[in-house]
Amino acid sequence: MFLRQIGQKLKIPTTSRTINASGMLVMPGGIDPHVHLKLPTLNINSVDDFYAGTKAALSGGTTMIIDSVTPAKNESLIAAYERYRSWADPNVACDYGLSMVVREFDDRVKLEMSQVVQNKGVNSFKFYMAYVGDLQVTDRQLYQGFLQCKDCGALARVHAEVGDLIHEKQKELISQGITGPEGHIQSRPEEYQTEATSRACLLAKEANCPLYIVHVMSKGAADAIGNARKIVGYTACSFLSFFLILCTMVFGEAVGSGLSGVNGSKIFDPMFRTAAAHVMSPPISLDGSTSKYLMDSLAAGQLHTTASDHAVFDSRQKALGKNDFTKIPNGVNGVEERMMLVWDKGVNTGIIDPMRFVAITSANAAKLFNLYPKKGRIALNSDADIVIWNPREKKTFSAFSHQSNSDFNIFDGITVMGSPYVTISRGRIVFADNKVLNLVIACFL
């Protein structure tokens, strides 16, 4: 359903419901461009499927998510795409899109990249510079993938860490008897993010391909993006026409876990359950000032979107790595909490204003992933995806009250001020009175 009228003297059908939004803000529904629902890894799937994950999204004011299709080894991109569609289409409670993971690059994959863009509605591809022997691509493959992204008009997304060094560090730590969750962060120094981000920017520049760095978790990685954007041509390009201008652009994504102020040292907690729950890649920074630095980067236009990287595993699944940290499934929650965290840490602190909040939680993602102005804007003929935001309402996060199927919430006990009062998806009220309601199957875009 589209927005048909905007103004003060509206023709209101007698069956319509009137919502008193006095003292509140009416904004476009949020877009979370980075989630992993029903993520297959280590012979298990993350506990939030497409229904649970999108239900959580709506309760946090997010009305669209973008998931990443991860093919199995030697599986075609098209087969993997169809598998994810079969998981999502009957179950999603909000609109969604799909990005494709490229885990190898050859002539077959090159052809399939073009096919999913032309025939399947995919407009971005994700490459991993980490996870040796599994998802990691070589620099040569990354460069070739960037060239193909440019040729087929797709956005390249990169998980930037130095995978080979991580792999060697993991082996060293295990041999030294360091097998607990602390080994995860010890094997992934922040410098690895910085170097890999800089390298990805260089390769994208040489390929003349727009680049989007996912989950920027460190000051160094944010600075690497800022430095790349200072090169002539990077900042002169418009969001709306970046495939039509002959220059490279780099965009950066912050995530809720990195902006929240959650203490990265919890990965050293003596209770395995708590420590393992905080295992994600890249890790949450041990530097307590990083979260503000990332928010400042969003305010300055050095970073551009906020996501959740929502990939949740319960305590039983995390315990698969009880004796070997490399076997702990990576991932934390955030699809429900993201917008509230950004408001509290950004707007309430005066770092950003409500307009910038809309940009980094919705509009910029809509523009980057070719959804604007259908999404990310309140305008005639845009989708009727709206969040009515109460800037004065307080909320305390808890694993006992969140919508996720996970039995742990890394934001447990954090109180924020500012949360959704009503969420509207395609013209239907789907969240009100702190309850998710009237859920209907949504659409792939």
| Helix spans in 162-218 (H) | 163-175, 182-186, 190-207
Q: What is the pLDDT, as a whole number, of residue 9?
A: 82
- Find the CATH number of the domain harbouring 341: 3.20.20.140
At residue 425, what is the residue type? S
Q: What is the pLDDT, as a whole number, of residue 234?
A: 44
Q: What tokens appear for 166 in the block?
A: 């991580």
* Closest listed residue to residue 419, CA positions, set 351, 353, 358, 338: 338
Residue 372 lies in a domain: yes
Find where tokens 């409670």 sit: 93
* DSSP character string of 394-409: EEE--TTTSSSS-S--
At residue 393, what is the residue type? E
Q: Distance between CA 91 and CA 46 in Å, rounded? A: 16
Angle between helix 139-152 and 107-120 (nearest 10): 30
Residue 15 lies in a domain: no
Residue 185 lies in a domain: yes
pTM across the whole model = 0.95
Q: What is the pLDDT, as a whole number, of residue 236?
A: 34
Contact indicator for 32, 57 with CB cutoff of 8 Å: yes
Q: Distance between CA 93 and CA 425 in Å, rounded? A: 9
Radius of gyration of the chain (CA): 21
Residue 5 lies in a domain: no
| Helix spans in 208-246 (H) | 219-229
Residue 88 lies in a domain: yes
Quick check: bond before 373 cis, omega within 30? yes
Q: What is the pLDDT, as a whole number, of residue 238?
A: 39
Which helix (H) or strand (E) element contains residue 143? helix 139-152
Q: Distance between CA 237 and CA 244 in Å, rounded? A: 9
The count of domains in the chain is 1
Phi, then psi, of 431 in degrees rounded to 5: -150, 125
Non-local (6+) Cβ contacts of 416 within 8 A are: 340, 341, 343, 344, 394, 395, 396, 397
Phi, then psi, of 82 in degrees rounded to 5: -65, -35
Q: 68 lies in which domain range?
A: 25-436
Q: Which residues of the chain have pLDDT under 70?
A: 232-248
Contact indicator for 371, 30 with CB cutoff of 8 Å: no
pLDDT in tens, 278-292: 999 999 999 999 999
Residue 351 lies in a domain: yes
Residue 1 lies in a domain: no
Contact indicator for 188, 164 with CB cutoff of 8 Å: no
**DSSP E strand boundaries for 57-123:** 62-69, 95-101
* Closest listed residue to residue 59, CA positions, set 434, 360, 357, 383: 434
Strand partners, 125: 100, 156
Q: What is the pLDDT, as a whole number, of residue 248?
A: 57
Angle between helix 139-152 and 190-207 (nearest 10): 50
* Closest listed residue to residue 158, CA positions, set 173, 141, 171: 141
DSSP state for residue 376 in the 8-state scheme: S
Residue 8 lies in a domain: no
